[in-house]
Amino acid sequence: MDDGIAQGILRLCKIAQGYIDQGNLEQGVAIYRYIIVKYVGKDIEGEEANACFARVLSTCGRDDLAERYVKRAITYNPDNPCYHHMLGIICNSNGQYEKAIEEFELAAHEEPDNVSYLTDLGANIYHRGNKKLGLEYIHKALNLTPTNRDLLTGLAMAYLSLGDMTRA
């Protein structure tokens, strides 16, 4: 596939994201669907185009296909934590929980101060049974954003489920 196609995908993704950012989800998703119909199953050259296409597929509920393209983006740039985080989210939604944790760990290792990476890693570890370690990662995320209501609520719920009314 030539570079022009990859650039076309990137342009369309930016247009769709613009609509989504303006609150016009319907138009943004319509462009995403067009991209899927036009390009699914084709080899796409370039790191950004593969990552963008993976986001499009995942947004439209096609995680089964998104995994392929985010893995291709990773082959171009294996040190990009965003790609590992995206793959972790996809694996988690596909029920591949251990693989999701591995990907979240890679992302958090590359960017140890990223609240999303720490939160997703902690939540997945917590839900896989290692409550103590999961809570440690969530607390690290909370230390970076102490007023984050979502994290505070999640921690309260976790402590309530553990029967720790003092911390909840």
Alpha carbon distance 101, 105 (integer Å): 6
CA distances from 90 to 7, 59, 99, 105, 138 (A): 24, 10, 10, 14, 20
**Could you tell me which residue, 139 or 45, shows the higher pLDDT?**
139
Q: Is the pLDDT of residue 168 over 70?
A: no
- Residue 58 token pair: 């995942």
Split at pLDDT 50, 70, 90, the class of 74 is very high
Q: Is the pLDDT of residue 132 over 70?
A: yes
Q: Is the pLDDT of residue 144 over 80?
A: yes
Give pLDDT tens digits for 76-121: 999 999 999 999 999 999 999 999 999 999 999 999 999 999 999 9
Query: C-alpha 109: how far from its chain's center?
Result: 15
- Residue 119 token pair: 């939160």
Fold of 1-78: 1.25.40
CATH topology agreement for domains 1-78 and 79-168 = yes
What residues does each domain of the chain span? Answer: 1-78, 79-168
Q: What is the largest CA-CA distance in the chain?
A: 60
Return the pLDDT at 1: 47
Return the pLDDT at 71: 95
Alpha carbon distance 24, 10 (integer Å): 19
Q: Is the pLDDT of residue 33 over 90?
A: no
Split at pLDDT 50, 70, 90, the class of 52 is confident
- The CATH code of domain 79-168 reads 1.25.40.10
